[in-house]
A and B are shown apart, each in its own frame.
Chain A
């Protein structure tokens, strides 16, 4: 019977097996959120900027790269 859908528990790993590149999309979560306890500091100051800001600015610049890597995987 078609109305009985397969569970999400089955579908998620399935998608990731077909498109493992989607894991790149977790990079911004790791950089902004996961790493936060390690980077919540003023020093070392880099180019005058406090370290936390340098880190978050870096995360902002690396997010497009992470999405680009996903897209590159998808286009293969």
Chain B
């Protein structure tokens, strides 16, 4: 196998040039996205325009944006790496995203209508509105930031590894990290969610094209076609093809079922998903997308299969090396310009989610934290933009100085975020839930997650530790709610709760007819 750093210098030049051209194009595209939006409407350029695209994105943009958020650098690196190391357990990603997209059919329009009715831009000001306490929004914002920051770092490191590999080592890891940060910050600060949606279009075209190509090319190149490849897989690697997969992973069926279930609920209230929901121009755009998005998951089978193909071609990768299972094949078998294009697709798979993560952190702080300071109250968008740069810089700095801190934190990210489910989702549907109950549940839930994860007991008893924590969270929330006093809040239910009002006036928006064919 060719050592990535050992290719001829001309390869490095070609691949790096392709990559460089696309990165410049990315920033330009992101910046162009807001052209013509400034003028026109009187309040243009406000926080809602920046954070949720002025709630004006149609079916196609929401589709590429939400598909773009779901398809991160993990899909290229981790999915192939898990496929290589364990096999079948990696399919939990497909399972939870499909289930999550499906229930997004109900939850998406519900949150969208709530936010639109009350002029909200994220889950933090939703809970602040629901419980009538601005400080609660600030608290949730801080907590969510702690859970989101590791994801930014994961994208930075993921992109760094890819860029360094596809440039045949010409771009060092440290420079690659910086490029990831600079390109993303370069457009998201200015053009917000709309810019991310435009970049997502470029990303989706490249991702679909490159994965579609690799899905056929790799088996042909190394195995003389799919038949022989799959034959060898079934006869030689059958351990990888069922649960619990290869090795001592502890990732059995119970783990798969609980993790997929928990994540499918968490993903619908994940702050970045909610940003996508709120960007939609109508609730029906979201319903249409709930139908179209699961189809995108078919693409996730590709890196996973290629990861298992790498078992035959580059056996013996261990630890972090296995994350490069797919790129080893790419660098080994394709000409430099094609390596560059695949690298761009993978890099954009880091950039788009990273942009939305940073945007969401900025929005949460601008709207729910800094707005509590009187002199920032009227400059929420400016505050949000400052926070975007600060959050990105912090993640970059930690990547250089203390990479392990955030890696450890990332272990609790998803399961920690899941603990917001009772407060956000149940709170918006059930009036009786009290602030004290929701808070107590959240504290217990996050505590239990930290307890299991940091003592390395996740999975615990074969199931996802986050679901155990969520059970405790919910039990405490209900117990405290029923045992404690009823809350005095004179607002009517319609002011406080969220509803998925089907058949409301939004039907007018459907006059444009049939569902949009997005050709995936």
Q: Does B103 contact A (CB under 8 A)?
A: yes
Q: Given that A8-B429, A36-B253, A57-B301 are known contacts, is A64 also in contact with B295, CB under 8 Å in the complex?
A: yes
Query: Which residues from A are CB-within-8-Å of B493?
Result: 2, 5-6
Contact of B430 with A3 in the complex, beta carbons under 8 Å:
no
Q: Does B243 contact A (CB under 8 A)?
A: yes
Q: How far is the CA of A64 from the CA of B291 in the complex (A)?
A: 5
| B513 → A minimal CB distance (Å) | 12
Contact of A61 with B287 in the complex, beta carbons under 8 Å:
no
Contact of B227 with A48 in the complex, beta carbons under 8 Å:
yes
Query: Which residues from B are CB-within-8-Å of A3?
Result: 431, 487-492
Q: Does B91 contact A (CB under 8 A)?
A: yes
Query: Which residues from B are CB-within-8-Å of A68?
Result: 291
Across the A-B interface, how many residue pairs have beta carbons closer than 8 Å? 130
Number of residues from A at the complex interface, CB < 8 A: 40
Which residue among A5, A7, A11, A74 has the maximum number of chain B CB atoms within 10 Å of its CB? Answer: A5
| A67 → B minimal CB distance (Å) | 4
The residue in chain A whose Cβ has the minimal distance to the Cβ of B95 is A32
Contact of B291 with A57 in the complex, beta carbons under 8 Å:
no
Q: Does B133 contact A (CB under 8 A)?
A: no
Contact of B99 with A32 in the complex, beta carbons under 8 Å:
yes
Query: Which residues from B are CB-within-8-Å of A2?
Result: 490-493
The residue in chain B whose Cβ has the minimal distance to the Cβ of A37 is B253
Q: How far is the CA of A12 from the CA of B226 in the complex (A)?
A: 48
Q: Does B168 contact A (CB under 8 A)?
A: no
- 5 pairs of A and B residues whose beta carbons are closest in the complex: A5-B431, A48-B230, A63-B294, A32-B95, A8-B430
Give the A-binding residues of B (Cβ under 8 A): 88, 91, 94-95, 98-99, 101-103, 105-106, 226-227, 230-231, 233-234, 238, 241-243, 253, 256-257, 260-261, 264, 287-288, 290-292, 294-295, 297-298, 301, 426, 429-432, 486-493, 496-497, 502-503
Beyond A5-B493, A32-B94, 10 extra complex contacts between A and B, CB < 8 Å: A11-B429, A32-B260, A36-B243, A40-B253, A42-B238, A45-B230, A48-B230, A53-B301, A56-B91, A59-B95
